[in-house]
Amino acid sequence: MSLDTAASTKALAPLPLQYIRIELMPILGGKFAVAMEATRLDEEELEFVGEDLAHVHVDTIEQLLAVIRQNVALLVPQVAL
């Protein structure tokens, strides 16, 4: 999703996050494919908007989990403890 704004205007607030879809697929050679998509709600247009987050191939489960963590961390606001 791309939101273009004039340089002197304030950036638009991101659309509210509804859910994240994660696809994990084993591929040849013992590797894994990861696909992630976020679905947001455009409250003005009353429609869902899909946003691709990742489409990557990784060698290990640790790398697969790192891709998921990295992309989810970008979407979820940090909570102060």
DSSP state string for 7-72: TTSPPPPPPPEEEEEEEEEEEGGGEEEEEEEEEEEETTTTEEEEEEEEEEEESSHHHHHHHHHHHH
61-81 pLDDT, tens digit per residue, is 999 999 999 998 888 765 444
Domain locations in the chain as residue ranges: 17-75
pLDDT interval class at 13 (50, 70, 90): low
pLDDT interval class at 43 (50, 70, 90): confident
Greater confidence, 4 or 33?
Answer: 33
